[in-house]
Chains A and B, each alone.
Chain A
Amino acid sequence: MSTKIRIKSLNGWFGEKQVLKDINLDIEENSITAIIGPSGCGKTTLIRCINRMHEVTPGARVEGSVLLDEQDIYKEDPVKVRERIGMVFQRPNPFPTMSVLENAVAGLKLKGIRNRKLLAEKAEEVIKAVGLWDEVKNELNKPGTSLSGGQQQRLCIARALAVEPEVLLMDEPASALDPVSTMRLEDLIYELKKEYTIVIVTHNMQQAARVSDYTAFLYMGELIEYSNTKELFERPKNDLTERYISGRFG
């Protein structure tokens, strides 16, 4: 196992407010790393710094570096960075003006691929990869938003996979899903780890415990504890972590 992403002295701001304070974190290749912490602790900002989405927000600012395969992504073209590091959001966000099939390959079209046959093949491949094919193969031309919440979220994952990223960032991907869809999603995430490095932000600690190999606990913008998941949940070293995960906060 080797380090895929190395976050070094990362600081993040929204306007004057510092939301990330000197974060240092190494993320293992082909593993699932969960980021947990109370609302407003900076966990979403942290993963948004990994694919340079943070700076898209007006007034947001980043300092420090994020190395992907030892190359600082902050010294590269953000558009290229985002092709290598895909993202799945809190709520399913398929494009309503595009069909299921168009949604799946929206990223490939951006890359200039126009060959219909190739696009259809790739769409089938990624929709199969997220276990959605049997459910939607007769609805490929319906709008992406006509699917159920869980299906939409898997479509969004398929959409991210189509670009063939190396890393997949997930910002509370199950927060808008019912328990059955959540379980399916977790199974999928677990499967995807074979080929991708996954970083997942979650509010749900049981989810972090279930799917992740490593867990990072963030509090008020600081990285409080980072270790393998079993260790962190069985015997956290930091008292703050202990209190947070056992629900003794506030």
Chain B
Amino acid sequence: MEKFRIFTAVFALSLTALAMLLLTQLIISSLPVMETFGFRFVIESVWDPVKEVFGALPFIYGTLVTSFIALLIAVPLSIGAAVFLTQYISPKLSYVLSFLIEIIAAIPSVVIGLWGIFVLIPFIREEVGPFLIEYLGFIPVFQGPVYGPSILTGALILTIMIVPIITSMTKDAINTVPILQREGMIALGATRWEVITKVTLPYARPGIIGGVMLGLGRAIGETMAITMVIGNAPEIPASLLAPGDTLASVIANQFSEATSALHESALIELGLILFIITIVINICARLILRREVARG
């Protein structure tokens, strides 16, 4: 018993040590940039490796905006899908449809990226972009020329990638709602819709929030697919229809060709920022969940 405890402790501690090591390594490697630019690094919006001027803001912006838009589209879509799959159709059909949705999550992101290039980009350029400009052009974010590769395209790619995650988590959360809770509402004379909005979803809320946070984490960290469609422009575009870049993309794109030590260090600090953002999101998710659980 005691031996086994030590044995497992070694595993647990080595994993913790690994995480700490990673963090330390990132910090050490980004020290040169920190010394040169200090806090300006995160608020500066010029990124010019040739002149060795590095500002991370465009990438932070790109990462947060794409992820936020992706959530904005994915959350209602996923909850709607999960409600449909669990409440409106037979378990057999639900199983088949759920399987198909979950398959999306299994597609390698590079394949989704390719699909983005060949299908989504032309679609945005020829259909969605002109439509948005014509009808919603009065909003600043839908102005300017349509490029195809853009913040919006990136966000849509992310949406596709996180919908399966949020859907399946929401479905699981809905399935844990006790039958007695739903029947309690039905017996009061509630319609199916009222049962969903007044009992099922409120009860499942902690689980759904967990799913959303997981999706957000995925969206923020996603690299390959979004790199292929976002346009890789290190600037903060006024329009969502213009190209941008994300933290993960720029690291993937520039790391192999980073010639100067300062460039390399800047990219590593981007990684550190990405790391910190995901940690913050994780902590927030945990806090929200804890509050929810305490409430329920």
Contacts and interface: CB of A to CB of B under 8 A. Distances in A.
B186 A107 contact: no
Contact of A79 (B184, B190, B203): B190
Interface stretch (B99-107, B191-199, B214-222): B191-199
Closest 8 CB pairs of A and B: A107-B188, A83-B189, A87-B187, A97-B202, A93-B184, A93-B180, A82-B189, A96-B296
A110 B190 CA distance: 6
A106 B99 CA distance: 36
B188 A106 contact: yes
A140 interface: no
B52 interface: no
A106 B194 CA distance: 11
Secondary structure type dominating chain B contacts: helix
Given A58-B91, A106-B198, A79 B187 contact: no
Interface of B: 90-91, 178, 180-181, 183-191, 194, 198-199, 202-203, 205, 295-296
A98 to B, nearest CB: 8
Contacts of B178: 93
Interface in A131-183: 143, 145, 156, 159-160, 163
Contacts of A58: 90-91
Given A96-B203, A110-B194, A82 B187 contact: yes
Nearest to B188: A107
A56 interface: yes
Contacts, number: 72
For chain A, which range describes its interface: under 10, 10 to 19, 20 to 34, or 35 or more residues?
20 to 34
Contact of B189 (A94, A96, A143, A163): A163
A95 B204 CA distance: 12
A145 B186 CA distance: 19
B183 A82 contact: no
Contacts of A106: 185, 188, 198
A79 B191 CA distance: 6
Given A89-B180, A93-B181, A96-B296, A163 B188 contact: yes
A56 B203 contact: no
Nearest to A88: B187
A143 B194 CA distance: 20
B190 A86 contact: no
Contacts of A82: 186-189
B184 A89 contact: yes
A53 interface: yes
A80 B184 contact: no
A159 B180 contact: no
26 contacts: A53-B186, A58-B90, A79-B189, A86-B188, A87-B183, A87-B187, A89-B184, A89-B187, A90-B180, A91-B180, A93-B180, A93-B181, A93-B184, A94-B184, A95-B184, A95-B203, A96-B295, A97-B203, A97-B205, A106-B188, A107-B188, A110-B185, A110-B188, A110-B194, A159-B184, A160-B187
Nearest to A96: B296
A111 interface: yes
A145 B295 CA distance: 10
Contacts of A83: 188-189
Contacts of B184: 89, 93-95, 156, 159
Nearest to A85: B187
A96 B199 CA distance: 9
B188 A160 contact: yes
Nearest to A89: B180
Nearest to B194: A110
B293 to A, nearest CB: 11
